[in-house]
Amino acid sequence: MKKQILLSILSLVSFATFAQSNIHFGVKAGLSSAGIRGDAANNLKDLLDFTNGRITTANRTGFFAGGYANIPLSGQISVEPGLYYSQKGYALQGELGIKGVEFLGANAKATLESDYIDIPVLLKADLGGFQVFAGPQFSYLSSAKLKTNASILGINLLNRTIDAKSQFNDWDMGVTAGVGYQFKGGFNVSASYDYGLSHIDKNQNVNAYNNAFKIGLGISF
């Protein structure tokens, strides 16, 4: 099903490319605040042993960067496919029983650092510089690492990195939407929200989905 949807999107973009010659290319980069929607803590149950204590979660602050092509369709409407490197993930902190060093659990922190290649295909409306956009997004998981650390009295006693890619699905599908403003000279700013629709857990044992808020600065050529 994902392959059929992706093929349809690529066909639409190819048709628009041949139909229009006024195509603008651009690059964009910015900051992101990514997290997991759903049962985030249990998502790492095969890598960590959780105690009955309090566990708090936090978003991972990262960045994204890449390029896009803006293809006019008619009037103020355009389609904009893109390709971006994007940092996602989340953090857990509290009473984590890290395997092999359970006695450090009360002061432990685990951070999932997942890196994706995002492929959004946006439908964009330009209202005199102000822009509104939305569309599907396919994401490929290039790497996923679980970093654990623990300390006592400010002394770092543990710093371990685990390859966690095998615990997650290679592909993620979602939607992204946001607003932006195009300045004269090609510079633009945007704010968007990614809403994951696919389970990221490979075994689909837990209800966990990616989500991220992004603020970007770009330039069109």
Neighbour tally for 22: CB within 10 Å:
8
pLDDT band at 6 (very low <50, low <70, confident <90, very high): low
At residue 183, does pLDDT exceed 90?
yes
CA separation for the pair 96, 94 (Å, rounded): 6
At residue 85, does pLDDT exceed 80?
yes
Query: Domain limits at 149?
Result: 2-220
Q: Hey, which residues does 78 pair with through a beta bridge?
A: 72, 124
CATH of the domain at 45: 2.40.160.20
User: Global pTM?
Assistant: 0.80
Q: What b/e readout covers 48-87, taking b as 16+ CB neighbours within 10 angstroms? A: bebeeeebeeebbebebebebbbbbeeeeebbbbbebebb
pLDDT in tens, 68-82: 999 999 889 999 999
* Between 12 and 43, residue with greater pLDDT: 43
pLDDT in tens, 25-45: 999 999 999 998 877 655 555
Check: CB of residue 205 under 8 Å from CB of residue 178. Answer: no
Pairing outcome for strands 77-97 and 130-152: unpaired
Neighbour tally for 192: CB within 10 Å:
22
Q: Looking at the 3D structure of the chain, how many domains does it have?
A: 1
